[in-house]
Structure 1
């Protein structure tokens, strides 16, 4: 028989919460059923698990979990909570004799005054706990969570509305979210090497959880940049391989490459397998089915545009075309030309590459920026090819636009040929009629810099 547990979450990246729970549960083979129609705008969730140990595992890995409690009661009033708690004496009867304890009374969107905290604690006197009160190292901690509606954005008295909560929850603390401190550990501002495109630490950790990063896994970032996603994946035990078309991002300006220096700071340098400079569409991979996961934040042109090898314009007649390794007349090393890599083409190519490079069951996790007003589900579905399935799609909303964290699983056990990277022009490769649909992320860079105004809204 399953037990019920109360989860309290940090109220950030709400849409990422359920995919993260499901991913960590899958990683540890935990049978987790998420209730339908969960309101992620509220920080509390009651879930059923087989054991307390499973609750502790989730709290130790999920970045968004703050506390997990053995659930005792909930209600709109303390009278309802007391009634349910009295009926569940079996939950706490073992703690009545000789067990040190303490109570914590806290609230969401409110600060409970100390005087009322005392009143709340005293109202549980019927539990008849005989052990001593120990506020530092108790054997057991009981927690009351009061949930208030959001009152931010308006002036109010400090204790206005105290006691007028929408719901109160009560339970025994099992574990605190020990993964949340990792957000501070991987804070970009404290990193020895980072650039203007470095990924936020909290989001990086959420992405790593989506890849199921763990000891023995091999993870690849084809747009590694300054390595934000590599460090967190390696922290969870995975081996990481990275590549980028611009080697300067990976190296930095010092003798030891920047990514190597930052990896040493996090004590994961031995898990960075290698770093290479190449265009992902001209990659050197000679076989597929190699990686357990691909994790990346493709450049989409706001701070740094995506590039691929090639010329923007055809070479003029009579001009000699140089190639890599060939000497130039001026004696300088040859630097191959690059051209813009349109986002909608990049996204399709990335999924095709993942189908070729991932092992069966492997995951591709990447961000896709999109115009919120124009977005439809078919934007993502139209990128898919045979053997690949979207299992999570979470929005980080910035107002007019947002970026979606897309998780795609390779569902096929087949080995697929290396893609031609012809993108939209090659419907055979993609398996979908790409040209029949124009996604909201197409030409995203141009839309961003014109303020997402439509053509008919532009100034004359």
Structure 2
């Protein structure tokens, strides 16, 4: 039977917590169980782990973890809390004799006055710790956390409602979340090189954890842009290869590529294997199973649209008026050739991305990417129809912006079968009953700039997005 640990999370990205915990546990080769109920909307969660080392590993790597504690008790009142703590006497009694200690009192959504903090500490006098109180370098820190209702949006004194908590938790502090300060380290505002599509630091770190980035891993970003995910995955020890159809984003205006300059700022430039300019649908990969993970934020048209090589389709009238002529380059000899590009529709892009991942990933390798979705239209079938044989969804976490959101999708390759390179024909999605399914993220760019307004026919008849083929 395992040991119960209390984890306290930063109150952001609720849906990302459990996938991150499972990913870090898989990286280090141990298991986690959650005694019911596991409510991700609250910042407190009980985990069952085999030993304390596993709790420390989670706190040292998980971006969303603030504290990890050996769990002693919880209650709606301090009477309930003390009763549970007494029943777990065997867990803490070994620290009673001559162990330097201190108490740490905190609250969520509240500030506990100093006077009551003293009362709380004195209420644990039955533990009878004999060691000296050491506020600077204790061997044991006993932590007590009160949880209050969310009072944002109200004007009140900081101590108003003191003592009217929802629940109180108690345990021995095992490890503070040492990974969380990395958010400031990778702050985009402090970065040497960034662009308007650069991913924020916290999300980049969460994505890196989903890839299981670690020394010896080789990770690929096919839409690397300004390299936000490259820095975080490389920081965790992985080697990174990046490509983009527009090399200007990777290079910047100086002689040394901007991504390399920013990577040097973080001390990981030696882990950037190479940066290449090519269209992912015209890629140079001649063999598969090269990468341990693929991580990317595909362009979906809000700040930058996705492109692929090719010509835009001409209107029928134009085609009838002037037959298509073979393309003849008219650029001067001393000018570089810029190939024509056409839009790459999002639903086609993500379908092709999954096929490319199946070809390029090693068995058990992961594809981690963001997918924008329309809140009122999204359904689970949207994700399932982009899958192919040999690929399964590991995690699907929503970052909600109201009328739309973006989902961090983690897909794992579960087959050792070798597949040929994808043809990038972008066939329509077919559901299990044989009908064509139109996912909510199709034509996302157009929906976004229309304010996600429904047409009159949709409002009058309802929206049906699965139609017979």
After TM superposition, is the score higher than 0.5? Answer: yes
Class of the TM-score when normalised by the shorter of the 2 chains: over 0.9
> Which of these residues, 381, 385, 388, is aligned with residue 378 of structure 1?
381
**Matches of 2:435 and 2:358 in 1, distance apart?**
21
What is the aligned partner in structure 1 of residue 150 from structure 2? 150
- Cα displacement (A) at 1:334: 1.1
1:352 aligns with 2:355: yes
In 1, Cα distance between equivalents of 2:125 and 2:59: 30
* Conserved? CA contact 1:383–1:434, under 8 Å: no
Equivalences for residues 25-40 of structure 1 within 5 A: 25-40=25-40
Equivalent pair of 1:242/1:274 in contact (CA under 8 Å) = yes
Task: Give the 3-state SS of the residue equivalent to 1:423 in structure 2.
Answer: coil
2:464 corresponds to: none
Aligned position for 1:362: 365
Query: How many residues align structurally?
Result: 453
The equivalent residue for 1:332 is 335
CA offsets 1:321-371 (integer angstroms, 9 cap, x no match): 247xxx834642210010000000001000010011111110000000010
Taking the aligned partners of 2:434 and 2:202, their CA distance within structure 1 comes to 34
- The worse-fitting range, judged by mean Cα deviation, of 47-56 and 154-163 is 154-163
> 1:241–1:272: 8 Å Cα contact kept in structure 2?
yes
Distance 1:36 1:240 in 2: 39
CA distance in 2, matches of 1:295, 1:4: 33
Equivalent runs, 1:4-403 vs 2, <5 Å: 4-313=4-313, 317=323, 319-322=325-328, 328-329=331-332, 331-403=334-406
What is the rounded CA distance, in whole Å, between the counterparts of 1:248 and 1:384 in structure 2? Answer: 32
What is the distance in 1 between the residues matched to 2:90 and 2:347?
58
What is the alpha-carbon distance in structure 1 between the residues aligned to residue 219 and residue 162 of structure 2? 49
Question: What do the CA deviations read for 1:153-202 (whole angstroms, capped 9, x no partner)?
Answer: 11223221100111000000000000001111000001000000000100
Shift of 1:145: 0.4
RMSD across aligned positions (CA): 1.9
Q: Assess if the C-alpha contact under 8 Å between 1:385 and 1:431 holds in 2.
A: no
Summarize the Cα distance change of 1:147–1:318 in structure 2 as closer, same or farther, 3 Å threshold.
Answer: closer
TM-score, normalised to structure 1, is 0.95
Equivalent-residue separation in structure 2 for 1:224 and 1:371 (angstroms): 25
Q: Displacement, 1:313?
A: 3.5
Q: What displacement does 1:432 show?
A: 7.3
Q: How big is the shift at 1:274?
A: 0.3
Distance 2:403 2:227 in 1: 28
Cα deviations by residue, 1:251-288 (Å, 9 ceiling, x for unpaired): 00001000000000000011100000000000010001
1:380-459 matches, within 5 Å, as 380-424=383-427, 436-456=436-456
Secondary structure of 1:203's aligned partner: helix
Sort the Cα spacing of 1:127 and 1:36 in 2 relative to 1 into closer, same or farther, 3 A.
closer
